Structures are given as C-alpha cells and as structure tokens.
A and B are shown apart, each in its own frame.
Chain A
Amino acid sequence: MNKKMQLIAAVLLIFALAQAVQAQDFSHMEAILERIDAQSRFDGMDFSCVLTMIVEDPEEGIEKLVVRQFRRDDGERYLLLIQEPVTQRGQGYLLEGDNLWFYDPSSRQFAHTSLKETFQDSDVRNADFGQSSYASSYEVEGYLEGILGNFDVYIIELKAVDDTVPFPYAKIWVTKDSNLVLKAEEYSLTRRLMRSALFPKYTKVGEAVIPVQMVFVDELVEGKKTQVSLSEISVSQIPDHVFTKAYIERVNR
C-alpha cells in the first residue's frame, strides 16, 4: 500500500514538474500569438465587407444590425457605417490609429470614443473590428493542451500588458495546426468571466485568414449574445477619402 502511494506520488510529482516546465516555455506560445496577429492583418491590401449582427437580449428582444465596414490595416484605420436599423442608420465609427470617433447624424457631431466601448449595445467591442493585437497587448501566463470539437488546441492564458484592450485577462483556444483562435474567454481584474467569444468559421482572404462567423456571449446577463456574420467581402483598393470625416458626412442623410 505504501509503495503504491509512493508510486502515485511520484507520478503526480513528475506530471506536475512536466506541467511546470511546459508552463515556463512560453516562447512557442508567443510565436503563436504573433502568427495569430499576422494572419488577421491585411498587409498591403484593403478590406471591406458587410457585417450582419443579431443581438439577442432577454430584456430587449432580438435586434438586427447591418454594418458596412471598410478597413485598412496600414495606418490602423477602419470605418463602420450602420445601414440598419433605420433609426441608427448613418451612425458611423472612424478609427485612425489610437483615435476613434463616433458620428451622430442627427446632431452632425463627431465625438471621441474608445475601442473598449461596446458597439451599439451589442456584445461586440469596437476593438473587435480591427486587427488583433495578442502579441503586443498580452503576455502569456500559462498554457495547456486540449481538444475543442474536432480540433487539437492550445489553451493559452493571457494577461494584458497595456490598457488598450477591453479586458485585462483572457484565455484563448488556438488550433495547433493552423493557429486560428476558436474560442476566447475574457476576464475582469477580479478574474470574473465577462465575455466568451466563439469563432467557428474562417475564410482565407489574400494572405489573411479571418473569422466569418462569430458569436459573442455576455457572461453577466444570461441569454444575452450577439452573432456576427460577414458577407460581400472585397479586397479592392479603397480610396483614401473614404477614411475621412468628410466621407461619413457625405454618405449620411
């Protein structure tokens, strides 16, 4: 009995040591984060699409948002223009580097806003529309290997190193073979789960690989979630004047 206990203890010790050694070797994980960011970026090309969002709120019911997105990662720019519903039509978001403006067509006013803010009371954050910044905004705290659905994944625990991201802690499920993020859990400072995001479908656009179906779940309000799908994808060059305040004013009523 004693020998059996000793054997179990030894196995547990070896397992724990192996985990510890594995947990300390983060360079591989950091390289994966860099690959995730690199393949989410449109280098040398522009990108546009239509985002259809279905926002489900147990209190407010179901709302559909249709948004036209223009994106240019060289210079960290994007423009989001709300097409539906009609009450919000014409509202726009213009990102230029670190600055994000929200345009309200009724007052014809641009106001500074934050990438961390939620988009139109959905579960999507303004930061979700741009390129990912896992490598620069987070450091690896640990990782595990696991399986999600049909995929072998790394489950990487992350801690924010700056205040540019909406959540200070995150955990991401990344496919081992293609380094695509399948799932992300985002946590508050007190490590409370705030939001889960699922990325079950991707497509290749040029050298980039982007999710075309996303589900964002509010973990604080039961039943609240936002589903996002992409269509009308284009990589045609977008004229410079599109990423200006003048363009937002021109397309508005």
Chain B
Amino acid sequence: MRRTILLGVLLAVLVWSGTSWAMDFDDLFGGDLLIELDPEETVVAPEEALLVQDRVEVGGRYNFSLNASRTIAEGADPSNDFRASLGGQLYLDARPDPNFRAFGKVGINYNVNNKEKPLTAELQELFADFNYGNKVFFRAGKQNVKWGVGYFFSPADIINIGRIDPLNPEAEREGPVALKMHYPRGTNNFYLYTLFDGVTDVQQIAFAPKVEFVAGKTEYSLGGFYQKDDHPRVMATVSSSFGDIGFFGEAVAAWGSDRGFLEPKGPAYEIAEKKGLFLQVTAGGMYRWKDSEGLLDLSGTLQYYFNGEGYKDQEGIKAVRLALLNQGFPPVVNPLKLDSLALLGSGRHYLAGALSWNKMFGSKFSASVFLQANLSDGSGMIHSTLRLPSVSKISPSIGVSTNFGSPGTEFGALGRTVMVFAAITIGDSF
C-alpha cells in the first residue's frame, strides 16, 4: 500500500512537472528528497520472466508502398512506371520454459502486377533455442546470422545465404540452416556453426568456428569456414571507435574461388578456374555530427572494399557485358561456362558512402544521398532521397537516382539513366 502511495506521488510529480514546464526548477525541490521504495522480490526473477514472457507471442510487420517513377535514358524515350507492393512478416514465438523456445517467421508478399500467382510466402526463420546449464547456448534451424562488421560490403559474412544490398544495408538477409553453439566467457564469445544447406551426405556438412574478443575499446573476431569439396576460408574483423568516429574492417582469405575468370586467349577470352589465395579487405567509418543550434544533424558512412576476385584489367568483362546486352556472342571460347562469370562485383576496388541530414534545419524533412562506385572501371550510381514529414503511419518521399560509367561498365552498362520517383510507404509493426 505504502509503495502504491509513493508511486502515485511520483506519478503525480511527473504529471505536474509535465504540465507546467516553464516553472521554476526550485519548485521540484520543495519536499522530501529521499523516498522509500522497498526492493521488489518477485516469485520469478525478472531475467527468467523475460525468457518466458507471455509463453506464446504472435506479431509481425505490415508494409504497403506505392512508387511512381519516370526514367530518362540516353537514346530512348522517357518511360513511366508505377508499382504497388504489399507485404509483411508474421512470427510466432513460443516459450514454454526459460530453457526452451521455438520461433518461426514467414515473409509474405503480394505482387499486384502478377495476376497468375500474386501471393508468395517464404520461410525466413524457424529455429529452437536451448542451452546446457546456461553456459553453452544452442540455436538449431534456419536463422539469421551476422558475421561481418562492414556496412555496405561484408566479405567476412561467409556463412549467410543472402548478401548485403548497399542500397538497403540494414535489411534482413537470408540465413543458413545451422546448429549454432555459443559459449560466452567474460567479454569473449566462442561460436561453432554446423551448416546444413544443400547437404545430402554427412561428409558435406560444413563447419564455421568463430571467436570474438575485446581489447581496450576494440573488438576483434577470427573465424573460418570448412566444407569438403568447397574452398576453405578464414576471416578477421575489427570494430572500434576513435573519439566520435566508429571504425570497422574485415579481411577474408579464400583458397580458390567459385567464380570463373576471363583469361586472354588469342583475340578472345577463355573462362577458366583459378586456384590460389584470394584476398578481400574492406574498411570504413561512421560519424555523426550535430551543431549546437540543432539545425545540422549529419551522419555519414564511408567504406572502401578491395575485391581480390575482381579484374585488374576490365576490358574483357566489359566486352562480355556489351555482347550480352546487345544479344550478341560474347568473345569467349567456352560460352557454356558464362554462368560462372560474375558480371556484378567484377571490380577490384569499390567505394560506397552515404550522407544523411536528419531533421533539416530542425524541420521534419530529412535527406540522404548514397554513392556506390566501382573504382576499377569508373562507373557508379548515385541515389538521393528527400523524406517528407510523415502523417500518422504514412511516410512520403521523393528522390532522384542516376548512374555513370562508359558502355560495358558495371553500373554504366545500360547507358546513362536518370530516374525521378515519388513514393508513399504505409507500415508498422504489431
């Protein structure tokens, strides 16, 4: 009873202070400073209660978006496009006791332009959590996994099925079917993933161990991937901060590559497998700056990526792209192997950056610009968006996208295009 009265008094003070904000601060310090709040000892400890919650929970996310765009391409008439997309997620989280939990999540999309089969659903996650004496923790099933620390590029993310979309780097990525073992010890974490995607023989089961450790304000991780008849890989990541700037870096070494590579053969090229060590390295930083007036709230991310599987000489891959776009014959002597060529990600050096201006001049408008460039062939794309003030759950935005690069380059293969768009997104979680 006493606790209830005290909480009531607290709430009254909060409400009162909230309704008369312009008051003298002295007024808040007119009564007793110390109040009694007896510690609460509940039957179920709070850390246990959180592990069972409501036993069964159903939730999800709903998203409906409309996008109208006009594309102006070099040497072609402008074209208009309109898309409506409807989708969402549904999840079920069952927690019969603190040491066991089953979770499933389904993604649903309704394509309004596809009259034959508009509805598609895909299993995004389905796993169970259990543990051994609250010391070793297991997750078994299809699960989202995050290995790398890179923002736009993450070559160290060697076990996920989905890849980062630099235009939407924080989006969920499809994870593997795996048994994860996690042993936390102090600030260190030891993981072992046993991976089952595409496995039809017990000898094909893949293994990926990883250790995370902290030194000072820096976190390091070391990991590897091994599967019979696949290329073994080792990776290392680092993430830290220096002052207000956050830094991250990744390095991956792979013995062999899944890709086919263009090798000059007379006047043409041959698609060949390559053995040896392939190195991929990326590093970047993030910074947020606000001026003291609250007019400039800027955040920026910049990342460089060295792709050891990329070409030093871009001429061959440009010639192949041009031929494929013009529906001609690519200049290769073994065209049956064309599928193994990587038409995207063919550069050695990449750069991506984003700059966001939140609450422009203290308003409800926000703007962002994103750049991705293949430095090896001098092509790239720029995407800028102006987010207008939201009304309830409705978020409108307008923007411009363009690309640059000579014919045959990764981002300029289709020629110079400029697209302007207006979009409305309605969405929320439940």
Contacts and interface: CB of A to CB of B under 8 A. Distances in A.
Interface of A: 48, 54, 56, 59, 68, 70, 81, 86-87, 96-99, 104, 106-114, 116, 148-151, 163, 175, 178, 180, 182-183, 188, 190, 192, 194, 196, 198, 200-205, 209, 212-213, 215, 220-221, 223, 225, 227, 229-236, 238-239, 241-242, 244-247, 249-251, 253
B91 A253 contact: yes
Given A192-B292, A194-B292, A246-B137, A251 B50 contact: yes
A249 B29 CA distance: 42
Interface string B231-262: 00000000111011010100000000000000
A118 B135 CA distance: 33
A149 B23 CA distance: 12
A238 B182 contact: no
A229 B14 contact: yes
A251 to B, nearest CB: 5
Interface in B13-59: 13-14, 17-18, 21, 25-31, 33-37, 39-42, 45-47, 50-51, 53, 57, 59
Contact of B26 (A86, A148, A180): A148
Contacts of A148: 25-26, 29
Interface string B110-143: 0000000000000000000101001101010001
A209 B382 CA distance: 54
B18 A150 contact: no
B86 interface: no
7 contacts: A87-B429, A116-B244, A149-B30, A175-B33, A182-B29, A205-B37, A239-B134
A215 B17 contact: yes
B109 interface: no
Contact of B184 (A56, A196, A235, A246): A246
Contacts of B219: 99, 112
B37 A108 contact: no
A86 B17 contact: no
Interface in B260-318: 292-294
Contacts of B11: 229
Contacts of A250: 51, 101, 129, 131, 137
A232 B49 CA distance: 13
A149 B29 contact: yes
B14 to A, nearest CB: 5
A106 B172 contact: yes
B158 to A, nearest CB: 16
Nearest to B101: A250
Contacts of B53: 251
Contacts of B83: none
A108 B47 contact: no
Nearest to A243: B184
Contact of B239 (A98, A112, A114): A112
B362 interface: yes
A65 B13 CA distance: 18
A111 B137 CA distance: 21
A109 B149 CA distance: 9
Contact of B25 (A96, A198, A232): A198
A180 B362 contact: no
Contacts of A245: 182, 184, 189
A190 B293 CA distance: 12
Contacts of B29: 148-151, 182, 200
B144 A253 contact: no
Contacts of B394: none
Contacts of A188: 292
B429 A86 contact: yes
Contacts of A108: 143-146, 175
A110 to B, nearest CB: 7
A229 B8 CA distance: 12
Give the size category of B's interface with A: 35 or more
Contacts of A238: 45, 47
Contact of A86 (B35, B59, B170): B59
A175 B47 CA distance: 35
Contacts of B172: 106-107
Contacts of A253: 57, 59, 91, 93, 103
Given A96-B187, A204-B34, A245-B189, A233 B47 contact: no
A96 B217 CA distance: 10
Contact of A225 (B21, B50, B241): B21
A239 B137 CA distance: 15
B428 interface: yes
A200 B28 contact: yes
When A and B form their complex, which 8 residue pairs have the shortest distance between CB atoms, in order from nearest? A149-B29, A244-B184, A200-B28, A109-B146, A246-B137, A108-B144, A203-B37, A220-B294
B386 to A, nearest CB: 17
Given A148-B29, A183-B25, A198-B28, A232 B46 contact: yes
A180 B29 CA distance: 12
A116 B170 CA distance: 23
Contacts of B129: 249-250
A99 B217 contact: yes
A200 B33 contact: yes
B154 to A, nearest CB: 10
Given A59-B359, A180-B33, A220-B293, A234 B39 contact: yes
B93 A87 contact: no
Contacts of B14: 54, 213, 227, 229
B7 interface: yes
B46 A234 contact: yes
Given A221-B294, A250-B129, A209 B187 contact: no
B368 to A, nearest CB: 17
A200 B39 contact: no
Contacts of A112: 219, 239-241, 246, 248
Contact of B217 (A98, A150, A192, A247): A98
Nearest to A56: B18
Contacts of A204: 34, 36
